[in-house]
Amino acid sequence: MDKENQEKLKKIAKLLRYYILLSTTEAGSGHPTSSLSSVELLATLFFAGFFRQDLKNPKALYNDRFILSKGHASPLLYSLYTVAGVFTKEALLTLRKFGSIFEGHPSPKFPYAEVATGSLGQGLSIGLGMALGIKLRFFGHYRPVSHFFSTQPEPLPFVFVLLGDSELAEGQVWEAISLGGHYQIDNLVAIVDVSRLGQTAETMVGWNLSNYQKKFEAFNWQVYSVRDGHDIEEIYNVYHRLIKENQPWPKVVLAKTIKGKGISFLEDKEGWHGKVLTETQLKETIKQLGDVDFKIKGVIQQPKKILIEAGNKVDEKTVLVIKKLQKLASTSQSPSSKEKNPVATREAFGQSLVDLGLTDKDIVVLDAETANSTYEDLFARRFPNRFIEVFIAEQNMVSIGVGLACLGFKVFLSSFSAFLTRAFDQIRMAQYSNAHIKIAGSHAGVSIGYDGPSQMGLEDLAMFSSILTSTILYPADKVSSAKLTSMANKLPGIVYLRLTREKTPVIYSEEEEFPIPGLKIHSRENSNFPNGKKILVIAAGITLSEALKAQRNLIGKNINLVVVDLYCPKPLDRNLLKNLIKTYPKIIVVEDHYPEGGIGSLVSKFILEENLSVDHFIHLACRKIPTSGLPQELLAYEEIDHQAITRAALAI
C-alpha cells in the first residue's frame, strides 16, 4: 500500500472517530468505545478497494454484503456512509432520535443495513445465509466449486461480517462456523474485533488470538491474524492476501484491537461500555484528536456487474450426488391428490413443497435434521440444489433463512414445533429485518402421543402469535395442508404452519379454497330437532376432527353444533367470526395447546375488542402436564377429544 493512500486512510479514521463521538454525545446515548475499536478495520475494508458496492443500488446482487453483527457499533456504520458522502453530518446527528433512520442498532430503515442486528450472535448465521444465496444465484447450487471451473471476470461477491469478541460466547456463532466450514462457503468473511473487554469485564480468552485461531481452524476456516488492529498497513496486507488467495474455505480475520482506541482516557478501560462523553469531555477529546479534515471523502469501489451463469459450474462429484438423490426421488412415495384415506398434514406439506418447487425456482428449503419426519425429504430428493441441511441447530437455521430471504429467495424451514421455541429470539429479530420466511412446526400438541412431553409443541401458538405481523396457518387435513402451504408461499413476512403427526381424515374436496384470513363453517341441521340448541365450537387441526365427531354424537340430543375450522388463527376473519358469535353466543373453543396464548386466547381477546356478548364461553385446552401414551389417550387425558366436547355441549 503506497504512503499516499495510507495517509488518506489515517485521515478518514480520524474523521470517523470525530463523527462517532460527536453523534453519540449529541444523542446522549450509544456505544462509542465499541465503535472506536473497529475504525481502522472498516475504514480499510470500505475505502481501500476491498468492499465493492453500488451506492445507488445497495441491494444489487453483484454487490458485496456487509453485516454488522455487533450492532451496538452502529455509529461507526453510519459514519462510514457519511464519510462516503451518502449522508450529511446534520443527518448523522439525528442518531437515536425519534423517526431517524440512524437507530440505536441498525435495521433496514437504514438503506445500507441488510438486516436488523443487535441481538448478539446472529450476524454470522445471516451472513452465511447470504453467502449460500449468492452461490445459489450464480452457480445454481451451493456446493464447493473448483477454481478450475470459475470463469467469472472478478471474484464472486463476498459477505463480510463484523463480530465482537464477546459474542463468540454465543453458541449460535459456532453453529454458523461449523456449517460454513462443512459446506466450504468460501465467499464468507468473518472479521472479529478482539478488543478484550466486554460489557462488564474481560472476555473469556481476552487477547489470546491463538486460542481463537485453533478453534476456527478446527472448523476448516482459513485464519488471518492481525496483531495490531489499528495498523492500516497490516490490515491492508491481510485483506489483500485474503482476496488474492481466495482459498476454498470460509475466512476469518482475527484482529487484536483496543476498545476506545484513539482517546487516551477511554482506551482499554472498563466501565465505559454503552456510555457517551459529556459536552465538556467531547471538547477535550476533539482537541486530542487534532486537526480533522472534513473535506476528505472515502470512495467505495463500484463493482462490475458480474454475469449470472446459474447452473453451469458443477463438477463431476456434485453431478453424481445430484443424480443419486434424484433417482431416490423418482421412487419416493407421496400422497395421491385423490387419496381418501387419512393422511398426516405434515406429509401433505412435504408433497406440496415439491409441487411448488416445480414451478417456483426461488423456493429454498432448510431442515434441522427432521426432514424424514416433516417430509421435507421429498423436496430434498427432487431438488437437492435448493435443499440445505442445517443439522440440529434451529437458531442457526432461522438466521440462515433470513439471509437467504434478503436475496429474494422464498424460504421454507421446518423442525418439530417444540424445538422452534429455542429459536424465538431469531424469529423475533427476523420481523425487524422484514424477512419473508415460512416456518413449519411439525408434531404439534399432545396428539403426537408416544414420544412424551419433551417432543410436544404446546407453546408454539403463543410464541408466533406474539410476533406482531405474523400469519398463523393450522391445517386439519391433507387438502387444507396443501392449499395453505401454497398460500404461505405467497404471503409476506413470517408465516407459521402448524402441522400434526397423526393421520387425519380427509374433510375437504380438492376444489375447496382457503383464503387468508378465513375460516370454514361445518353446520349439520338435525331434522328431528329443527329448533334444537345451537352451540358454536371453534377448533383447528387435530381438534376439528374431534369436534365433527362430537357434532355427530349430539344429533339425537336436541343439540346442533356449528363447528368452525379456524385454519387461520392469525389474522382472524373478523367480520365472519363476529357474525358467528352474535348468532351463536354459546361458545366452546377446543385446542391441542396450553391455555395461554393459543386459539382460546386469540378468540377471547377478539370478543373483548369487539365488545361482544356471549352466554357461555368454555375453553378446552391442555391443562395438565402430558405423558407418553396413545394419541387418543392423550386427547382424552387433556379433555380435548370428542367426548370432552360432547360433555361441554351437554353442560351448556
| Alpha carbon distance 462, 206 (integer Å) | 40
**Rounded distance between C-alpha atoms, residue 176 and residue 399, angstroms:** 9
Question: Quick one: CA dihedral 143, 145, 150, 153, positive or negative?
Answer: positive
Catalytic residue (one of 167, 170, 376, 394)? 394
Query: Distance between CA atoms of 405 and 509, rounded to whole angstroms?
Result: 33
CA-to-CA distance for 263 and 283, rounded, in angstroms?
12
Query: Per DSSP, what are the bridge partners of residue 160?
Result: 66, 189
- Cα 595 to the chain's mean position, in Å? 27
Could you give phi then psi for residue 365, rounded to 5 degrees? -120, 130
Secondary structure (3-state) at 565: strand
| C-alpha to C-alpha distance for 123 and 242, rounded to whole angstroms | 21
Q: Strand 343-344 and strand 503-504: pairing?
A: antiparallel
Give residues with Cβ within 8 angstroms of 147, minimum separation 6.
Answer: 246, 248
Q: Give residue for cell 353444533.
A: 561
Give the helix/strand (H/E) hosting 503.
strand 503-504
Where are the alpha helices (H) located in 375-452, listed in sequence order? 377-382, 394-406, 417-420, 424-432
Angle at 88 between CA 83 and CA 93, to 5 degrees: 105
In the three-class reduction of DSSP (H, G, I as helix; E, B as strand; rest coil), residue 459 is classed as: coil
Is residue 394 part of the annotated active site? The answer reads yes
Contact 622, 638 (CB under 8 A): yes
Of 451, 474, 450, whose CA–CA distance to 461 is shortest? 474
Distance CA 539, CA 562 (A): 11
β pairing state of 471-473 and 494-498: parallel
Structure letter (DSSP) for residue 439: E
Contacts of 597 (CB under 8 A, 6+ apart): 459, 461, 462, 463, 465, 466
Contacting residues for 320 by C-beta, under 8 A, at least 6 apart = none
CA distances for 144 relative to 141, 148, 384, angstroms? 9, 12, 14
The CA distance from 538 to 547, in Å, is: 8
Phi first, then psi, for residue 388 (nearest 5°) are -120, 115
How far is 542 from 442, CA to CA, in rounded Å? Answer: 12
* Run of H or E including 222: strand 222-226
Q: Which of 533, 448, 450, 463 is nearest to 494 (CA)?
A: 463
Cell numbers of 331, please? 421412487
Which residues touch 141 (CB under 8 Å, ≥6 apart)? 135, 311, 314, 318, 322, 385
Separation CA 283–CA 400 (nearest Å): 44
CB atoms within 10 A of CB 541: 30
Active-site residue list = 394
